[in-house]
Structure 1
């Protein structure tokens, strides 16, 4: 019996292709070969490769941003607890189904050359920064301090994931220590 794939199967395979080969590796034929299905299976779910790429970006925005925010908001009752939970959730390694720990870096690299990806990354960065800034505001830091703390925490998260790939950081403990420092008045 032939394997039936869902759009998510294709999206996950496309993320793995992106992570290992860059945006140019997001091709229907090569992904179909990896999935051991015909290229026709791809066209059952997507009009073309740009549609797959947009679906990837939409999925990433939902899973890696909105779902995380929803989880953090429902899992903690106050801003300090939300920030600590956010650090734990955001430093967990992405699922290998999505290319593992390099997925976010691969998306950011893709965004350097692709206007659609760049627009989505900018939107997501704004959502994430706004959420973190809101938590610092709730802890009664001033607007300027809240913006700075949110930016520092978010930038550290991005950089620590890059360093971790080379074994030069432990994002969970390093980011947690930074958060403790940022929470001090």
Structure 2
């Protein structure tokens, strides 16, 4: 029943394209790609299955939309953040890490779900490989802007990228207070530059602010 007790219709106006995409993303994260089925999504939305076809030609079109959303959010978030202006490499890393953990920017559960999906689909695997390459290139470019030689910048870009993904993939349950207590050492190990007190504070402050928005 709708507000006011009126029965809601089951036509195309009952849902939007964004509704289908939102529910499909939720199911992808919780149940994997095999759970993204039109009939099951319709049940979750309490609407007719036929309304799906007002917005997507078929299930493959929905899967394409899921991949496009992932690329436009996760990959874009890291690439844009790595290219943001900063006074020092340590300030740049602080900004990147805050963007990585902040709400509405980089979606870690979605990233892991897409990677699991890629094990079943050569097309998705190619998309993941291309996105990884773009992200690492952007982070390597961040190091290069601060004078690191090209080869070193590339390796440091990989180290930073794999470091963060290691935390996510291993599902570390280390609390943020403990992790932030190591900020000085993290910055030094990731950049090779002894961080100043204000750079450590910037990392901690930006990450805390991002976490508060979750």
Stretches of structure 1 lacking an aligned partner (at least 5 in a row): none
**TM-superposition CA deviations, 1:33-58 (whole Å, max 9, x none):** 11222112211111111111111101
Q: Cα–Cα, structure 1 residues 7 and 94, in superposed 2: closer, same or farther, change >3 Å?
A: same
2:160 is aligned to 153
Question: Which TM-score applies when normalising by structure 2?
Answer: 0.73
Q: Cα–Cα, structure 1 residues 86 and 166, in superposed 2: closer, same or farther, change >3 Å?
A: closer
CA distance, structure 2, for counterparts of residue 51 and residue 5 of structure 1: 17
1:44 is aligned to 54
Count of aligned pairs between the two proteins: 180
Stretches of structure 2 lacking an aligned partner (at least 5 in a row): 1-7, 194-214
- The question of 1:182 aligning with 2:190 is answered yes
- The question of 1:15 aligning with 2:25 is answered yes
Q: Cα–Cα, structure 1 residues 174 and 110, in superposed 2: closer, same or farther, change >3 Å?
A: farther
Q: Is the contact made by 1:11 and 1:55 (CA closer than 8 Å) also made in structure 2?
A: yes
- The question of 1:66 aligning with 2:76 is answered yes
Greater C-alpha radius of gyration: 2
The equivalences for 1:136-151 within 5 A come to: 136-151=143-158
Please state whether the residue corresponding to 1:64 is helix, strand or coil: helix
Q: Give 1:178 deviation, angstroms.
A: 2.9
- The question of 1:28 aligning with 2:47 is answered no
Q: Is the contact made by 2:143 and 2:157 (CA closer than 8 Å) also made in structure 1?
A: yes
Between Structure 1 and Structure 2, the one with more helix by share is 1
CA distance, structure 1, for counterparts of residue 135 and residue 77 of structure 2: 11
2:210 is aligned to none
Q: Give 1:60 deviation, angstroms.
A: 0.9
Q: Cα–Cα, structure 1 residues 166 and 5, in superposed 2: closer, same or farther, change >3 Å?
A: farther
Q: Give 1:103 deviation, angstroms.
A: 1.8
- The question of 1:127 aligning with 2:134 is answered yes
Q: Cα–Cα, structure 1 residues 101 and 151, in superposed 2: closer, same or farther, change >3 Å?
A: closer
Please state whether the residue corresponding to 2:119 is helix, strand or coil: helix
After alignment, is 21-30 or 4-13 more displaced? 4-13
Question: Which TM-score applies when normalising by structure 1?
Answer: 0.83
Q: CA RMSD of the aligned region, Å? A: 2.8
Q: Cα–Cα, structure 1 residues 84 and 41, in superposed 2: closer, same or farther, change >3 Å?
A: same
